Amino acid sequence: MSHGSTDKCEPNMTPLLDLVLQLVMFFMISANFVMEQTSVEVRLPEAISAKALDAAANTIIFLNINEKGQVVLPPVDREGDNDTLDNPAQVKGYMDRRAAAEKLKTRAEKPEATLILRIDKLCPFEKSYPIMKACRSAGYSNVQLRAIRYSGQE
């Protein structure tokens, strides 16, 4: 005597496919937000000891510095028609405004965001140091420099 039908029992794959597609869309959208903050025209230097971004950082601010020593602002951070900050005074004003907005949001004494400087490998230190100094004077203490891990090829 048979208990049940003789049809094959197959799992329903529709919910699994739905979940996979939602995850793919989530990661595609997340990757687009990160790519909007970085500039393709900035060629990072290579370093042997380069390491990945710290996942514990809650707020991250990217500053892209081209070979001329100008800060290239991403489209989401532009103020008015200016897409570059040409001198340290403009950088200091911009970073002061960012710091004030962050302090107001977090109710902290100083900004707690991680500031990542993406400096072009052809930018001389004389042009990048005043930008780093302006960021430090705005109250940012967690500043990182980005580099690409050295591949060993010339």
Per-residue pLDDT of the chain (154 residues; tens, 9 = 90+): 556 666 777 888 888 999 999 999 888 877 665 555 565 566 666 666 666 666 666 778 888 888 888 888 877 777 777 788 888 888 898 889 888 888 888 888 888 888 888 888 888 889 889 988 988 888 888 888 777 766 666 5
What is the side-by-side strand order in the sheet with 71-72? 84-85, 71-72, 60-65, 114-119, 143-145
52 φ, ψ to 5°? -70, 165
Q: Is there a contact between 114 and 60 (Cβ–Cβ < 8 Å)? A: yes
How far is 148 from 154, CA to CA, in rounded Å? 14
**How many CA atoms, within 13 angstroms, populate the side-chain half-sphere of residue 132?**
14
At position 5, the amino acid (one-letter code) is: S
How far is 119 from 64, CA to CA, in rounded Å? 6
